[in-house]
Amino acid sequence: MTKLIIFTDLHMVPEGTTIIGLDPYERLAAGIAHVNTHHADATCVIFTGDLTHRGDRPSYERLKGLLDTLTPPRAITIGNHDRREVFRDVFADCPTDENGFVQQVIDLADCRLLVLDTLLAPPYDYPTSHAGLLCEARMDWLDRQLASAGDRPVMLFMHHPPHATGFTGMDMIRLVNEAAFYDLVKRHGNVLHIFAGHVHRTISGSSRGIPFSVFKSPVHQQPMPFDAPDPSLSVDEPAAYGIAVMTDTGVLVHTEDYEIAVREAAVA
């Protein structure tokens, strides 16, 4: 049975640096320890981008040392806070496609996983490159992987949600070629679920008839008011990761708020 752990928006920073007073290294380390303790049997741990806060080498090197302590295998892609060339230099063993994008296909007995690179860069022209894009080459790769999936259901993992999530500021920097993406996915008809990050909230639902899940960050979260125009606002809420489990009839999706999780009930 396939069990997947999903982390997103790690926002690693150099040693001695914090984000709104929070230490991304400390929070992620607690999450990895939690996975190693309770989900060492996971098929894979998938990281869906914004691995670092500023795309700098010291942060990637710090992150790599931490991810190397994971017990289950890992799969990684990047987000708008990352720099593809710096990531690839530090994580030289991470699979890429034939064009150098940080995406890969993982075939399992009961499903196919497609890990997508939605970074709209280089050039790193902020705020434009905070939005996501699957360019023609990446769309062609996705088309081929969906076509060759055979009878296996497909799950997509990407940083940017390919549709609006209700948060005004974040929706302005979602995947920009949303319509073309869904036209392609719907044409194949074999995508079981879409997983994303970027928004720093726990969100689930469906778009164009396809279920999706968005997970919170291990570090800082998006404030809940929908109409906030500033996508950089952050609040301190419990860290979390996602859990996806394949079943005979589909996929179950859970969220683990590991910072406040209690494994055993109190006895009166």
Alpha carbons 75 and 110: distance in angstroms, whole number: 18
CATH code of the domain in which 98 resides: 3.60.21.10
Q: How confident is the model at residue 265 (pLDDT cuts 50, 70, 90)?
A: low
How do residues 134-191 score in pLDDT, each as one tens digit? 999 999 999 999 999 988 999 999 999 999 999 888 899 999 999 999 999 999 999 9
Please give the average per-residue pLDDT across 7-19, as a whole number: 95
In a domain, 264, yes or no: no
Cβ(119)–Cβ(80) below 8 Å: yes
In a domain, 265, yes or no: no
In a domain, 261, yes or no: no
In a domain, 263, yes or no: no
In a domain, 199, yes or no: yes
**Residue with token string 């179950």:** 252
Contacts of 91 (CB under 8 A, 6+ apart): 60, 64, 76
In a domain, 7, yes or no: yes
Alpha carbons 185 and 169: distance in angstroms, whole number: 26
Q: Tell me: pLDDT of 224 over 90.
A: no
In terms of C-beta density within 10 A (0-12 exposed, 13-18 middle, 19 or more buried), how is residue 152 classed? middle
In a domain, 262, yes or no: no
Q: CA torsion angle for 238, 31, 246, 40 (degrees, to 10)?
A: -150
pTM, rounded to two decimals: 0.94
Range of the domain at 242: 3-256
For the chain, what is the domain count? Answer: 1
